[in-house]
Amino acid sequence: MVLIHLSEFGAEAARGLVLPTLFTYVQELGGGLEDIGLLTALFSVGRFFSSLLFGWLCDRTSFRVLYNVAGVCAVVGNLLYVLPYSPSVHRLSVLALSRFVIGFGAGNRSVCRANIAMLTHVDQRLQYFTLFATVVFLAYALTPGLGSVVGDTQVNIAGDILQFNRFTAPGFLLVAINLFTIFFNNLIYDDSISRDDAPQSPKFHDSTAPSSPQSTTEITMSNRTVTVGILVFIFLNFNARGILSIFETVNVPLFLEMTNRNTTAEQASVKATQDASTFYLVVGLFGLISYGSVQILRKKVSDVGFLLFGFAMLLIGNAILLTLCADMHVNNERSDDIDEVHSQHQFNVFVTAEVFVWSVGCPLTSAVVVSAFSKVLGSRPQGLLMGVFGASASVARMLLPFLPSVLASWPLLFLVNMVLCAICIVVLSLYLGFISIQEKRNDKPAVIYDSVQLHSDGQEQAG
């Protein structure tokens, strides 16, 4: 499990470490907000292809081999990431290529998920997938805080070919992390470990003891119900990851606007980078509370309950941002009436909205939807289906990051997000109704695991 998490951390940190500086890095190379959307999309294009490929392969070859392939792609991509800052290169196209290659390496997520599903029993999935999602969150939401460490350091390596500074530091660090992962993967990983070696959950352990015939009866889902569940959670994953990618695109520009840094010089300053890094580090730390709540409440709250709450928080956060940006638009037309107190009030409202979105909504929806999807599959081989599941997120991250540059204003962007959240809540509610109808029609209750009113195919049996 440690190696799985280490591999995913290296892949996902490629999103978090660059968050505070990517916007200004692109500006240094002559780009703008639309190019940020393009880079986010290219990362996801790479992950889309590799998610399907790796997902298909992990049912046919060693997990160790796939982790090594993904690690090598990440090393090559991050070496390309540091080159564009060199005066002899200085091309946005090289930066774009690097994000595609890094994204291809990050397709190991489907391998990690299939590996976890292979190592765990169905009733353990929420616990272990939440732990996995916590590592993902640490990688993309807390690593931005490292952006303030480098400061204005400038070191030339090999003449002017490689330069170490706040723009290129993420690339150097990610190369080191992935080389470390490859080394320990080949040193420690054991392909012979299976779910038979997993810690036995109390409920699963009890099932090996003598019990009544009723307690040992298999309760199965119909293929139709499984198919509906698969489609529902793929759709929810598409929207959850898409909304997250939108905020990855606009977080720093929005923060700079909320802190009244309107000129290119102010936005490219070291102080702006440090402030953005610190802000998203703190907001990210609050997100750990969301993951902790899942671990604590997993025996009392269902996956669907967590998802409904998560999308509701996203809806509220986007509603606050819509109101705030509309208010800022009005105030910009009457700039002489704006005072420091009002600006501070706007920033406080912005912080509240970011907590709803970045600290609560995104962590809950992105974490729980994975375990819910895995539980619907039960103990079936999950490599290819996890690849399809991951590919749905990549498609969302290809398309939705372009919305900020396509839509005319911030309020319209957040309105679109609200509509997506509302649709997800409706779909979840309809899914609950569908499950209830199926139970009544079959005249038998749903399979209830330790925390989740979801179903498996009934193949997970004590042996």
pLDDT per residue over 285-326, tens digit each?
888 888 888 888 878 888 888 999 999 999 999 999 999 988
Q: Which domains does the chain have, with CATH numbers?
A: 2-191+217-442 (1.20.1250.20)
- Measuring CA to CA, which residue among 307, 320, 317 is closest to residue 425? 307
| 3-state DSSP of 101-168 | HHHHHCCHHHHHHHHHHHHCCHHHHHHHHHHHHHHHHHHHHHHHHHHHHHCCCCEEECCCCEEECCCC
Q: Are 250 and 411 in contact (CB under 8 A)?
A: no
Say if residue 9's pLDDT is above 60.
yes
Tens digit of each residue's pLDDT (9 = 90 or more) over 18-65: 888 888 889 888 888 788 888 988 998 998 898 888 888 887 888 889
Name the band, by pLDDT with cuts 50, 70 and 90, for residue 212. very low
Q: Which pLDDT belongs to residue 379? A: 65
Read off the pLDDT of each residue in 334-352 and give the average, rounded to a whole number. Answer: 74
- Write down how long the chain is: 463
For residue 30, give every residue at least 6 positions away whose Cβ sits within 8 Å of its Cβ, in sequence order, or none: 92
